[in-house]
Structure 1
Amino acid sequence: MVVRLSEQWPEVSPDRLLSECVPPPRFADVRFATYRPNPGEPTQSEALTVLQDRATHLAAPRRSPSFWSRFRASSPVAGKPGIYLDGGFGVGKTHLLASLWHEAAAPKMYCTFVELTNLVGALGLRTAVEKLSSYRLICIDEFELDDPGDTMLISRLLGQLFNAGVEIAATSNTLPDKLGEGRFQAIDFLREIQALAARFDVRRIDGPDYRHRGLPTAPDPWPDEKVEQEAAVRPNASCDHFVDLHRHLAELHPSKYGALLDGIETVAITDLRPLTDENIALRLVVLADRMYDRNLPLLAGGVPLDQLFSKDMLKGGFRKKYLRALSRLIALARAA
């Protein structure tokens, strides 16, 4: 029986949000030993070495916050409480981040930036700080600041966690002192961003997107009838009209998008259309991330995936989000 995602109304408790803060299935088995640096990109090997060194330290029992204050004072670069991997799409940042998490001592947490903001929203800042201050390591994938509210919230959260001795590892497609650039320019928020950036040891990772080496364009879309027929014979498949799906996403909090995919093994979408509404586009980005986390093949009809986001969107402040989503959706469509 084909499932309609647009007819599902999952409920997600704060406890479930916290318990699911582990690497997604796609990265459950990755390790440093399985990372293959591109020989032509030395920054990839350098990042691997840096993360392995930090993993050795994180595997040891946690020291007190006062110890790390003294350590960082004597070693201002190596002793920074955060490690920040900056780079383009498909260079292995998430692979390295998940490998670090696997090596670290518990308690530890792994989440995307969106999942972190959703968690803090569900728990409240004070409760989030109380629950997370005992953690050895918190890994944050796809770190980004989309609005001033997120800036203040995450700055306060991470500042208190750093002071409690928690170490933070993050990945992003944007340097930490450039977060929010092109979206908001208020000087007070710029100070918050720069103060946050100062807590991270930034490592750049260069290279082409491994998902599209030699495969730069989207596959041809299927006729809608073929999408529906294929979904009907695949086990645990969903199938939705694109308009029905994006309207439903508007009625769900993004923290529920992962639960929306519970039990789904293939996602089918008919009548994909070019987007011009930024709100719809950003919701699709979150859904694409949750699909990619779960390695769900995508059956797609309508316009080719590389025409999903308008040219203006791909030039705007959220362009990196859209490019990442395209990279992932195209990979999932090829998997189907």
Structure 2
Amino acid sequence: MTDRLSDRNPQVAPQTLIDEMVPPASFDGVSFDTYIPDPQHPSQAQAVATCRDFVARAAKVRAGKRNLLGRKQTTNGIGVYLDGGFGVGKTHLLTSVYNAMPEPKSFATFVELTHVVGALGFSKAVDELGDRSVLCIDEFELDDPGDTMLVSRMLSELTARGVSIAATSNTLPGQLGEGRFAAQDFLREIRKLGSLFETIRVDGPDYRHRDLPPAPAPTSDEELREIAESTPGATLDDFDALCEHLGKLHPSKYKQLVAGVTLVCLSDVHAADNQSVALRLVVLADRLYDAGIPVVVSGGKLDEIFTDEMLAGGYRKKYLRATSRLLALSRFADSSDS
């Protein structure tokens, strides 16, 4: 019988969340040299140069200064912020920064970082990360006032301890939170966050869809079952059952939920019923993409999971990113079968 994700209930120790703050395996071996800038978009080459300079300056911060007695003095960390659309290589550049910096160092998505704080507590999380040469934050986002205050305070404390911060996002620092809560009420905190970073724009088309055909059409339920049963390590879930199960798990467990899975098969896919379900699917899509796990579905198309109403709201960029990644994973599955 094929395994189901909805039968899994992974347990994750808080310290494990710290230990797992590394780039996704799909980015193993990347560097500035392996990033190929698109000559039609000069900002990409400029972003590489800026990130190289950031590494050089952050390394000097890490080394620290010496006072007249020869004692090391803590220097505030510096920040760089890569803003751009989906699939222009921001995570590649962020991972290149991580790989070029000395240990200890940490890498996490914004959501994973908030999970670490929730699991360890604020003070413990700051202490754990306070000795890092760099903290790399992928997909920086602020979805509510609590996150705004939390991240602002955390990054301020970390940079004061000499931790440099590198981040990526699809939203400029001054616009974080727009459309999701009353940003004007927290403008001071948002501006404080923005002041930590040197912002670099990275332009270009989404490489995941560059010269590629449309996403594969959904399979029949019978074919989906046959694919799952013939693929070692595959899982097969009813879409609604999986969505219900995701609601019972803290999102920090989604990485372990899909650990060891080679293929995710979902039957009777349709548009998410509400925003809460949709946001959980976003986190799941990120974990699947990080692990490079292909996705095959029956029912609806993967680009129809998020409704027009959702795409018109404050989480638009998050939903578009998830759609982009799910389509890439569905193409990967389709090419593996051919």
**Normalising by the residue count of structure 2, what TM-score does the alignment of the two structures yield?**
0.93
CA–CA distance in structure 1, aligned partners of residues 91 and 50 of structure 2: 15
Q: Which residue of the partner structure matches residue 216 of structure 2?
A: 219
CA–CA distance in structure 1, aligned partners of residues 183 and 288 of structure 2: 34
Contact kept in structure 1, 2:251 and 2:280, CA below 8 Å: yes
CA–CA distance in structure 1, aligned partners of residues 41 and 264 of structure 2: 35
TM-fit CA distance, 1:276: 3.8
Contact kept in structure 2, 1:51 and 1:96, CA below 8 Å: yes
Q: Relative to structure 1, is the Cα distance of residues 240 and 259 closer, same or farther in structure 2, using a 3 angstrom cutoff?
A: same
Q: Which residue of the partner structure matches residue 2 of structure 1?
A: 2
TM-fit CA distance, 1:155: 0.9
Q: Which residue of the partner structure matches residue 36 of structure 1?
A: 36
**Normalising by the residue count of structure 1, what TM-score does the alignment of the two structures yield?**
0.94
Q: Pick from 241, 245, 250: which aligns with 1:244? A: 241
DSSP 3-state at the match of 2:180: coil
Equivalent AA in structure 1 for residue 126 of structure 2: V
CA–CA distance in structure 2, aligned partners of residues 225 and 282 of structure 1: 29
Contact kept in structure 1, 2:79 and 2:198, CA below 8 Å: yes
Contact kept in structure 2, 1:112 and 1:143, CA below 8 Å: yes
Instruction: Give the RMSD, CA atoms, in angstroms.
Output: 1.5
Contact kept in structure 1, 2:84 and 2:203, CA below 8 Å: yes
4+ runs deviating over 6 angstroms: none
CA–CA distance in structure 2, aligned partners of residues 272 and 119 of structure 1: 31
Kindly provide the CA deviation profile for residues 281-320 of structure 1, in whole angstroms up to 9, marking residues without a partner as x: 0000000000000000111111111111101111110000
CA–CA distance in structure 1, aligned partners of residues 227 and 183 of structure 2: 50
Equivalent AA in structure 2 for residue 8 of structure 1: R
CA–CA distance in structure 2, aligned partners of residues 179 and 215 of structure 1: 31
Q: Pick from 314, 329, 333: which aligns with 2:330? A: 333
CA–CA distance in structure 1, aligned partners of residues 82 and 307 of structure 2: 28
Does residue 168 of the first structure (1) align with residue 175 of the second (2)?
A: no
TM-fit CA distance, 1:68: 3.0
Q: Which residue of the partner structure matches residue 336 of structure 2?
A: none
Q: Which residue of the partner structure matches residue 72 of structure 1?
A: none
CA–CA distance in structure 1, aligned partners of residues 273 and 241 of structure 2: 16
Q: Relative to structure 1, is the Cα distance of residues 42 and 186 closer, same or farther in structure 2, using a 3 angstrom cutoff?
A: closer
**Structure 1 gap segments, 5+ residues each:** 70-79
CA–CA distance in structure 2, aligned partners of residues 59 and 164 of structure 1: 14
Q: Which residue of the partner structure matches residue 77 of structure 1?
A: none
Q: How does 1:228-307 map to 2 (within 5 A)?
A: 228-307=225-304
Contact kept in structure 2, 1:173 and 1:320, CA below 8 Å: yes
Aligned residues: 326
Q: Relative to structure 1, is the Cα distance of residues 212 and 68 closer, same or farther in structure 2, using a 3 angstrom cutoff?
A: same
Q: Which residue of the partner structure matches residue 50 of structure 1?
A: 50
Q: Which residue of the partner structure matches residue 68 of structure 1?
A: 75
CA–CA distance in structure 2, aligned partners of residues 160 and 220 of structure 1: 49
